[in-house]
Amino acid sequence: MKKVLTATACAALLATASVGTAAAEDGVFVGHLEDITGATGFVGKLYGPGVADALKYINEHGGIDGTPLDVESVDYAYEVPRAISQYKQWTSRNHMVAMQGWGTGDTEALISFVAKDKIPVWSASYSGHLTDPTGKNPKTQKPAPYNFFYGPSYSDGCRALAQWADEDWKAMGKEGAPKFIHAGDNHPYPNAPKEACAEYAAELGFEVLPPVVVSLKPGDFKAQCLTIKESGANYVYVANLGPSVVSLVKSCKTVGTDVKFMANIWGGDRNTLAAMGDDGEGYVFVAANAFWTDDVPGMKLVKEIAGSDEYRTHHYIRGVCSAYYMKEAMEWAKANGGITGENIRNGMYAKKDWVPNGLEGVCTPSTWTAEDHRGMLTASIYQGHVKGEEISIEKIAETTLPRRDDWLGY
């Protein structure tokens, strides 16, 4: 009797194992790189959960038209070698079909890998270098046929801010050419828009000053602020994020630097303004989607994904948008030959002025083509107001830039 029970138990275990294997084979693997503990963890811990929560919600509601997603989220602490190693593990061990990525250094380092392996990547790096899929622009560093992101590129975000600053200068009745300066670390992320934006600022009539190097790590930046003050700069493009930005603004207030700070898409949010306190009054930054408190239809789905009404930043919401663009590209792929990397990529070209279903009013309409991966050329510009513990964020402009060929991949 004991032998019979043992045999029966073994048969049951084998049956269970075969069911589990079948389920795994029926699903598709998606890797998710995030930075929670590294140099950009200040915003990574806000954006990463937006992606992870969205992918979990998608799985709980039918996956990709019945195909489950096998997802692994890994905190690579913003270290490029770790990102490359993790990517290689996922491609060899898990047969990854798509990836949600993070930083500029690692995303740019993986361009050739993902192109060769035909694995589409949606990064949280908005480097303009990722937008030219064919390499037709001579300034493109590498063709990036499998790289996508949701939002304006860093270059286009900075160009939009330069355009706003030009209008702001004229509205104040100022005479002469305003002075523009780039302040950020000597690192792929802050450097990504530096040359492109400086060229456009000069084209608009700004006097472009030599950039000032400011570490991504927080510190005492009075020396840099004195350099900015002595240069006579009027507008400072803030290329870093989080505690570094807070340190820069506070240091500059301490030494009496009278400038307008304009930050990239990661450099402005409610948490940053709260850390700045009253020094954050008037701080300007770029955004790409609705905010948590906006009364738009798609915010209902965002809050369902989040699982509560607890406030989430626009970075979290941008992560949700990124995951849902991938989801719908995968649905297209399934209906058009199967969920492979190449088909998923082609699914990104299937729609124009595209907003994922259920996220109306949240995600800005975007269009990707086989020749141009600049999904959007619209940048919303916001200004923070801080008075004691009262923080408000006001939309002050929306700029749609021209789709210039000489700006592709740059």
- Give residue for tokens 């626009």: 314
Q: What average pLDDT does the segment 256-272 reach?
A: 97
pLDDT (0 to 100) of residue 289? 97
Residues 14 and 137 in one domain: yes
pLDDT (mean) for 160-176: 96
Predicted confidence at residue 389, as pLDDT, reads 86
Residues 265 and 222 in one domain: yes
* CA 128 remoteness from chain centre: 12
358: left (phi over 0), alpha (psi -120 to 50) or beta: left
* Longest distance between any two alpha carbons in the chain, whole Å: 98
For residue 17, pLDDT over 50 is answered with: no
Are 246 and 192 in the same domain?
Answer: yes
CA distance 168 to 183: 20
Token pair 């270290």 is at which residue? 79
pLDDT value, residue 183: 98
Flag whether pLDDT at 25 surpasses 80: no
Mean pLDDT of 198-206: 98
Q: Which pTM value belongs to this model?
A: 0.92
Which among 308, 329, 347 is the end of a domain?
347
212 and 70 fall within a common domain? no
Instruction: Tell me the mean pLDDT in the region 8-32.
Output: 52
Same domain, 142 and 159: no
pLDDT above 60 for 222: yes
Whether the pLDDT of residue 84 is over 60: the answer is: yes
Q: In this predicted structure, which of 5-14, 38-47, 96-105, 120-129 has the lowest mean pLDDT?
A: 5-14
CA distance 239 to 268: 11
pLDDT over 60 (residue 60) = yes
Query: Is there a contact between 42 and 241 (Cβ–Cβ < 8 Å)?
Result: yes
Q: How confident is the model at residue 5 (pLDDT cuts 50, 70, 90)?
A: very low
pLDDT band for position 21 (cuts 50, 70, 90): very low
Q: Are 220 and 254 in contact (CB under 8 A)?
A: no
Q: How confident is the model at residue 19 (pLDDT cuts 50, 70, 90)?
A: very low
Mean pLDDT of the chain: 93
Q: Please indicate, yes or no, if residue 364 is contained in any of the structural domains.
A: no
Share of the chain above pLDDT 70, in %: 94
Q: Which residue has the tokens 């693997």?
A: 29
Q: 198 and 133, same structural domain?
A: no
The dihedral formed by the CA atoms of 140, 145, 146 and 149, expressed in degrees to the nearest 10: 50
Number of folded domains that form the chain: 2
**Helix/strand/coil (H, E, C) string of the chain?**
CHHHHHHHHHHHHHHHHHHHHHHHHHCEEEEEEECCCCCCHHHHHHHHHHHHHHHHHHHHCCCECCECEEEEEEECCCCHHHHHHHHHHHHHHCCCCEEECCCHHHHHHCHHHHHHHCCCEECCCCCHHHCCCCCCCCCCCCCCCCEECCCCCHHHHHHHHHHHHHHHHHHCCCCCCCEEEEEECCCHHHHCCHHHHHHHHHHHCCEECCCEECCCCCCCCHHHHHHHHHHCCCEEEECCCHHHHHHHHHHHHHCCCCCEEEECCCCCCHHHHHHHHHHHCCCEEEECECCCCCCCCCHHHHHHHHCCCCCCCHHHHHHHHHHHHHHHHHHHHHHCCCCCHHHHHHHCCCCCCECCCCCCCCECCECCECCECCCCCEEEEEEEEEECCEEEEEEEEEEECCCCHHHCCC
Question: Is 355 among the domain residues?
Answer: no
- Mean pLDDT over 226-250 rounds to 98
Give mean pLDDT, residues 338-349.
98
Task: Report the pLDDT value the prediction gives residue 177, as an integer from 0 to 100.
Answer: 97
| pLDDT tens readout for residues 344-388 | 999 999 999 999 999 999 999 999 999 999 999 999 999 999 998
Would you state the structure tokens that stand for residue 364, as one six-digit string?
A: 């800005």
* Calpha distance 396→263 (Å, rounded): 14
Residues 268 and 395 in one domain: yes
**Residues 284 and 403 occupy one common structural domain:** yes
Phi, psi of 207 (to 5 degrees): -90, 115
Give the pLDDT band (50/70/90) at residue 20: very low
The CATH number given to whatever domain includes residue 253 is: 3.40.50.2300
Question: Looking at residue 22, what is its pLDDT?
Answer: 33
Evaluate whether residue 1 is within a structural domain: no
pLDDT above 50: residue 392:
yes
Residue 191 has pLDDT above 50, yes or no: yes
Q: pLDDT digit string (tens) for 119-162?
A: 999 999 999 999 999 999 998 889 999 999 999 999 999 999 99
The whole domain housing 115 covers 8-152+294-347
Residues 393 and 272 both lie in one domain: yes
Among 16-20, 35-39, 159-163, 339-343, the least confident range? 16-20
